[in-house]
Amino acid sequence: RQALEQMKIMDVAKGKAGFGGINKKDMGAHKFWATQPVPQLDEGPPVDDGYIEPSVPRDQVRQEAYPLPNDFEWSTLDINDPKQNKEVYDLLSLNYVEDDEASFRFQYSSEFLQWALKPPGYYKEWHVGVRVSSNQKLVAFISGVPITIRVRNKVFAAAEINYLCIHKKLRSKRLAPVLIKEVTRQVHLQGIFQAIYTAGVVIPTPISTCRYNHRPLNVPKLLEVGFTFVPRNSTAARMIRMNKVPDKPTLKVRPIEERDIVAVADLFARYMRRFDMVPVMSIEDVKHQFLSGEGTGKIGDGGPGKRVGQVTWTYVVEDPETNKVTDFFSFYCLPSTIINNVKYGTLEAGYLYYYATEVAFQPDADENGQLKARLQTLIGDALVIANQAKLDVFNALTLMDNVSFLQDHKFGVGDGFLNFYLYNWRTAKLAGVTSEGGVP
Ligand code: MYA
């Protein structure tokens, strides 16, 4: 039932799919988006993939910040400074994305923000804030981080835009377009003219739409906080029994270490060839994405199954004979505030991130079911690790190869969708899901 959106995953599974939910009339009324280099409605599929508006030399990029309404000023946020990091945390934890019924609101931790906003080569100028001039209170934010992406057969540098947030008291004043224009200017100043972003809302024009699926782990709590309900033909006891997860993983999985990075980078790159829109990661990127978020100390120091400040969990499988990494999976933890609940403060949610397996490269692995079987086992083990870390629910989108294991692993179809967008890049739609949630 949860309708929260999520931002980090951006591989979209290949295949054919329909697109639901885009209403022509609504799409006509986008005063801001109509002025931007994004595919507009009624354009039809492009003949070739490529930019919409050409890049320009740095001296032709607007040099002054966009004007803000009186009483507000721009502020670059230094995420390394604990005080400023806390300011972003406070803004987001009170004003960021909520589900449709305002029951849950994302609560990104400070450690999460450190991990998400500081990948290799990040620019602090892309962490754009707006403050009230009189008291310096942070009231709006938008961020970008550098990323290299491949869309179909073209690879290009882009900004990944995220954490657009305006204080609840300042909504519907057309401030969002100013934030978007200012971060665009900052990205242009670094010689980058494309961007990728995701949102729960539909604006011109999604290149793909994925659906959230949720695997309950802590059923009693999920029932108590109203995240999920007992279906008419079931009971709470039955739901608990049905969703029980084994105590131990099936494969010999272990947490990723520094020595695995090169092998994981190689496996990741080869596996990603299966998909039409993927990040291209350097060794440094892989280290950042899969190792740097693991927190400090030993597993258990930060609570059951957790290091202190742990944000990401990446586990590898090693071939005992060759010592080669044959598989890996990763997920991250993003809690949500449970609004108006006296007993529980947060819902601890895991989000499936990237995974890969050598099995995919065996002849006919896709056709003869070997790949499906291996992913089934691998993701089963991810659920075991997530359960050991005392997460309440494990979420996954209908992208990559996820659809092959979601049902068998008892994920329930959620009511949240995530739309994927490219800025200043034309490409035909990528596979997504229908409004029914299935991939045709
Ligand atoms: S998605 C997460 C967005 N955040 C939230 O949902 C948190 C809670 N909500 C809020 O804080 C506010 O409601 C926000 C809008 C800030 C979302 N993406 O100021 P307004 C358009 C893009 O009066 P407000 C994420 O972080 C809207 O269609 N546009 O509205 C990725 C309308 O334009 P138009 C959005 O409600 C962000 C205009 O803004 C979004 O006070 C990617 C209204 O402005 C949205 N999520 O504030 C940003 N929501 O009339 C784009 C509303 O045309 C990046 N709008 O329909 C583009 C690439 C930039 C870099 C390019 C580099 C080359």
Rg over CA atoms, the chain: 22
Of 4 and 417, the structure prediction assigns the larger pLDDT to: 417
pLDDT in tens, 260-272: 999 999 999 999 9
Per-residue pLDDT tens over the stretch 73-124? 999 999 999 999 999 999 999 999 999 999 999 999 999 999 999 999 999 9
Cβ of 193 less than 6 Å from ligand 1: yes
Give yes or no for residue 38 CB within 6 A of ligand 1: no
CA dist., res. 422 & res. 420, Å (int): 7
Please name the residue whose Cα sits nearest to atom 18 of ligand 1.
199
Residue nearest to atom 6 of ligand 1 (CA): 97
Distance of alpha carbon 360 from alpha carbon 372, whole angstroms: 9
The pLDDT tens digits of the residues spanning 402-413 come to 999 999 999 999
pLDDT tier at 45, thresholds 50, 70, 90: confident
In ligand 1, the atom with minimum distance to the C-alpha of 201 is 46
* Residue nearest (by alpha carbon) to ligand 1 atom 47: 176
130 Cβ below 6 A of ligand 1: no
Distance of CA 95 to the CA centre of its chain: 18
Give 216-283 as a DSSP string.
ESSHHHHHHTTSS---TT--HHHHHHHT---SS-SS-EEE--GGGHHHHHHHHHHHHTTSSEEE---H
Q: Does residue 180 have its Cβ closer than 6 Å to ligand 1?
A: yes
Place of tokens 């803000």: 68
Contact by Cβ (8 Å): 45, 428: yes
- The complex's ipTM works out to 1.00
pLDDT at 436 over 80: no
The pLDDT assigned to 26 comes to 52
Q: Whose CA is nearest to atom 39 of ligand 1?
A: 176
Confidence at residue 373, expressed as pLDDT on a 0 to 100 scale: 98
Q: What is the pLDDT of residues 174-184, one digit of tens each?
A: 999 999 999 99
* Higher-confidence position of 436 and 362: 362
What average pLDDT does range 309-321 have in this prediction? 96
Which residues is 423 bridged to in the sheet?
Answer: 195
> pTM for this one?
0.94
Report which protein residue has its CA nearest ligand 1's atom 41. 171
Testing ligand 1's pocket by substitution, the residue of 91, 166, 207 carrying the most ligand atoms inside 8 A of its CB is 166
Distance 213 CA to ligand 1 centre (A): 24
Say if residues 19 and 419 touch (Cβ distance below 8 Å): no
Cβ–Cβ < 8 Å for 125, 79:
no
Calpha distance 11→53 (Å, rounded):
25
Please give the average per-residue pLDDT across 359-369, as a whole number. Answer: 95
Are residues 325 and 263 in contact, defined by beta-carbon separation less than 8 angstroms?
yes
Query: Strand, coil or helix: what is 297?
Result: coil
Q: pLDDT band at 41, cuts 50/70/90?
A: confident
What pLDDT, on the 0 to 100 scale, is given for residue 28? 53
